[in-house]
C-alpha cells in the first residue's frame, strides 16, 4: 500500500546560519559560490602540542552578536543555535502561528561539550563552589533546542536528535514528520555544534580522521580528491523554518524550496565505518517519500567529509541509488565539518542551489579519485536549473539521513 504521506511536503520559508564562511546565510552563501575557505590555523597555546592545529571557526563570534548578558548563560553551541534561529525566523517573516502549533527540532553531536570540559577543569582547579550554577542547562544536549523554543515561544515540542554527523539532517527530517503527522504547522529545525577543544582534536586525530595539513589550512579539506587525508573540524549552526504548505500559502509566505521527503536508516554494522547498503537505502527512502525518480535529481549535496574511505563509500552509494548524472558538490571543502550542524548546512546550500540555479564548486579538487565516477562540480560554480536535489548526512554509529528538496 502506498504511503499516504508521499507528496505531502513542507515549505521552506526561512533560513539561518552562522558558519566559518559568514555570520549569516547571505555571507555564507556568497562565500560558497565564490569558493572561499573558512579554514584557518589554531593559534592558541593549547593547540601547540596537538598533531592537528587547523579548524573552521565561526566567522562571527555568536557571543558578540547576542551580547554579554545573554551569552554568558549559554554554551557556545547554544549561542550559535540562537543566532541562526533568529535569522531564520526573521527570514520567514516571523510567522503568526499559535505557540501550540510551533515546534523546534535542533540536533547536535556533542551538545555543550565546551561547558562540560571547562567546568570540570574549574572544579578540579578551584573546587565545587567555583562551578557555574548554569552548568547543567549549558551542558545538556537538548540545550540548543530548549533555548530556541523559549526564544520563539514554541510549545508543540522541542526535540533533539543526537546522531553524530547526521543530527542536523535528522532534525529537519523530524520536522517534516511533525508537519505530516499534524502535530505542528511550523517547525524550526536544524543543527548546532561547537566542540573545538583539545580533547576532540586529540580523539579524532588518534582515530586518524583529521587532515594533518597544518601548513596549508585552506587546502586541507579535499573531498573526492585523490590526495585527501581526513576532514577539518569546524563549528557553527544552521536552521530552517518549515511550514505546512497551505499554512505558508495562506499567509503569503515567500517559499525558498519544498522539503519533499526524507529517508533515515541505521547500518548496525560498525561504529565508524560506513556501510553503503544503509546509505543507498536512506537515499531510496527519501526519493520514495518525495515521490521522485532518480532521474528527477539534478543536484546532490554530498556528505563528503574528505576521508579516504568515507568519500569513496558515499560516491558508490550515490551512483547506485541515483546514478552519475547529478551535479555533485561538497561544501565541507570550504567550511570544514560542522558535525551535528553539517547536514542542516547542506540543506540550506541545496535550497539555495535550487532557488538560485547555481551549484558551488568543490574546493581543492585538483585530482579526482579515479574510483569516484560522479560528476563533481569543480573549478567554478555550475549554472543551471534543477527540479530536485538531495542532501546526504552520515554519522558515526551508522546513522544515515537523506533529504529531498524540490525547487520553489
Catalytic residue numbers read 165, 303, 337
How many C-beta neighbours within 10 Å does residue 36 have?
A: 15
179: DSSP letter: H
362: DSSP letter: B
Q: List the Cα angle 333/336/342 in 5-degree steps.
A: 105
Distance in angstroms (rounded) separating the CA atoms of residues 390 and 294:
10
Is 29 in contact with 352 (CB distance < 8 Å)?
yes
3-state SS track over 218-264: HHCCCCCECCCCCECEECEEEEEEEEEHHHHHHCCCCCCEEEEEEEE
Strands of the sheet with 102-107, listed across from one edge:
158-159, 102-107, 186-193, 236-244, 10-18, 257-266, 399-406, 388-395, 297-301, 327-329, 375-376
Q: Which residue(s) pair with 14 in the sheet?
A: 241
Beta-strand relationship, 102-107 and 158-159? parallel
In 267-323, the DSSP E strands lie at 297-301
The set of cell numbers assigned to 400 is: 544515515
Distance in angstroms (rounded) separating the CA atoms of residues 182 and 66:
33
Q: Which residue(s) pair with 12 in the sheet?
A: 242, 257
Q: How far is CA 44 from the centre of its chain?
A: 26
Number of H helices, E strands in the chain: 14, 15
Is 267 in contact with 209 (CB distance < 8 Å)?
no
Q: How far is CA 350 from the centre of its chain?
A: 11
Is 164 in contact with 343 (CB distance < 8 Å)?
no
How many C-beta neighbours within 10 Å does residue 314 have?
A: 28
Distance in angstroms (rounded) separating the CA atoms of residues 149 and 151:
5
Distance in angstroms (rounded) separating the CA atoms of residues 229 and 309:
10
Amino acid at each position: 500500500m502506498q504511503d499516504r504521506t508521499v507528496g505531502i511536503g513542507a515549505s521552506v520559508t526561512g533560513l539561518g546560519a552562522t558558519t566559518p564562511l559568514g555570520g549569516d546565510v547571505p555571507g555564507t552563501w556568497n562565500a560558497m559560490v565564490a569558493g572561499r575557505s573558512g579554514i584557518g590555523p589554531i593559534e592558541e597555546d593549547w593547540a601547540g602540542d596537538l598533531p592537528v592545529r587547523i579548524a573552521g571557526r565561526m566567522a562571527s563570534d555568536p557571543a558578540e552578536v547576542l551580547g554579554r548578558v545573554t551569552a554568558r548563560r549559554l554554551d557556545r553551541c547554544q549561542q550559535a543555535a540562537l543566532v541562526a534561529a533568529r535569522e531564520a525566523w526573521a527570514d520567514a517573516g516571523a510567522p503568526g502561528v499559535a505557540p501550540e502549533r510551533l515546534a523546534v527540532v535542533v540536533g547536535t553531536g556533542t551538545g555543550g561539550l565546551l561547558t562540560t570540559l571547562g567546568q570540570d577543569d574549574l572544579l578540579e582547579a578551584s573546587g565545587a563552589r567555583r562551578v557555574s550554577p548554569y552548568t547543567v542547562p549549558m551542558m545538556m544536549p537538548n540545550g540548543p533546542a530548549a533555548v530556541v523554543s523559549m526564544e520563539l515561544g514554541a510549545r508543540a515540542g522541542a526535540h533533539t536528535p543526537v546522531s553524530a554527523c547526521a543530527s542536523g539532517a535528522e532534525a529537519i527530517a523530524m520536522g517534516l514528520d511533525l508537519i505530516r503527522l499534524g502535530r505542528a504547522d511550523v517547525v524550526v529545525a536544524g543543527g548546532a555544534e561547537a566542540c573545538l577543544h583539545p580533547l576532540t582534536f586529540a580523539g579524532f586525530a588518534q582515530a586518524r580522521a583529521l587532515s594533518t595539513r597544518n601548513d596549508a589550512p585552506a587546502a586541507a579539506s579535499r573531498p573526492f580528491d585523490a590526495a585527501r587525508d581526513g576532514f577539518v573540524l569546524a563549528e557553527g549552526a544552521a536552521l530552517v523554518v518549515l511550514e505546512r504548505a497551505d499554512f505558508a500559502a495562506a499567509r503569503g509566505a515567500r517559499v525558498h524550496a519544498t522539503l519533499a521527503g526524507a529517508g533515515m536508516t541505521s547500518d548496525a554494522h560498525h561504529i565508524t565505518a560506513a556501510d553503503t547498503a544503509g546509505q543507498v537505502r536512506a537515499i531510496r527512502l527519501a526519493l520514495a517519500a518525495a515521490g521522485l525518480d532518480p532521474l528527477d535529481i539534478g543536484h546532490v549535496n554530498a556528505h563528503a567529509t574528505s576521508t579516504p574511505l568515507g568519500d569513496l563509500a558515499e560516491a558508490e552509494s550515490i551512483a547506485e541509488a541515483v546514478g552519475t548524472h547529478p551535479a555533485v558538490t561538497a561544501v565541507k571543502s570550504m567550511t570544514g565539518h560542522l558535525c551535528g550542524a553539517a547536514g542542516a548546512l547542506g540543506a540550506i546550500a541545496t535550497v539555495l542551489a535550487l532557488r538560485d540555479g547555481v551549484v558551488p564548486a568543490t574546493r581543492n579538487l585538483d585530482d579526482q579519485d579515479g574510483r569516484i565516477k560522479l560528476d563533481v562540480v569543480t573549478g567554478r560554480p555550475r549554472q543551471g536549473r534543477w527540479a530536485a536535489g538531495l542532501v546526504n548526512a552520515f554519522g558515526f554509529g551508522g546513522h544515515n539521513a537523506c533529504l529531498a528538496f524540490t525547487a520553489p
